[in-house]
Chains A and B, each alone.
Chain A
């Protein structure tokens, strides 16, 4: 069993980790009850799975240069996946696309309440100044 064989098996095992995380995300997508929980399941292969695959490709090529060229892939995913997840979670919260009976705490509700009442008060104020301007 030479070093090449060991490295081949290590890279295959790393790909296996990525594949397992993909299956875990799929199972989570099917089994979890609401959009927010599914979002949580979906993020597993996006970062950890991709890290495993990137290291596997670099080990298979036995090259640091390949690892360096793959770093931007990781960088994009690590920077952009949270942005996309935040947008989706925001949309899910706003469209009531989650099971409120399954969650214990809603930290955002009080802030939304206050912002709504603030906005209403501001609207009333601007209405009055508009009328004053016209008069």
Chain B
């Protein structure tokens, strides 16, 4: 039983690490600001999920406020940078 759970948790760790590393790769490589923005959003989502997974693994509920704050504030940076990026456009003209 513990062996099954151990294998499951190792698989979970590998999958989370792979997702986070892929997002990191996209943040580093780019090519555009928006790609990096989307990738950093994925990295933050991964962080929320990992905090939850850690609670399941260690069997406590102390990190719930952290998940709540992360979920509530994740959107602010995305909206701010997206608004900044749409002001840099090739398509947008002055005054629009």
In the complex, which residue of chain A has the Cβ closest to the Cβ of B55? Answer: A57
Given that A23-B19, A73-B68, A76-B68 are contacting pairs, would A49 and B90 also be in contact in the complex, using a CB cutoff of 8 Å?
A: no
**CA A7 to CA B38, docked complex, whole Å:** 35
Interface residues on A, range: 35 or more
Interface residues on B, range: 35 or more
Which residues of A line the B interface, CB within 8 A?
A: 1, 5, 8-9, 11-13, 15-16, 18-20, 22-27, 29-30, 35, 38-39, 42, 45-46, 49-50, 53-54, 56-57, 60-61, 63, 66, 69-70, 72-74, 76-77, 80-81, 83-84, 87-88, 90-97, 112, 116, 119
User: What would 26 A/B residue contacts be, using CB atoms closer than 8 Å?
Assistant: A15-B12, A16-B8, A16-B15, A18-B53, A19-B11, A22-B46, A26-B21, A27-B19, A29-B22, A29-B25, A30-B25, A35-B32, A38-B39, A42-B39, A57-B61, A60-B55, A74-B71, A80-B71, A84-B75, A87-B82, A91-B82, A92-B34, A94-B86, A94-B89, A95-B89, A116-B93
A-B contact sample (18 more), CB < 8 A, given A42-B41, A60-B59, A94-B92:
A9-B4, A15-B57, A19-B16, A22-B16, A22-B42, A23-B22, A26-B19, A26-B23, A29-B22, A53-B48, A70-B64, A70-B67, A76-B71, A80-B74, A83-B75, A88-B38, A91-B34, A95-B89
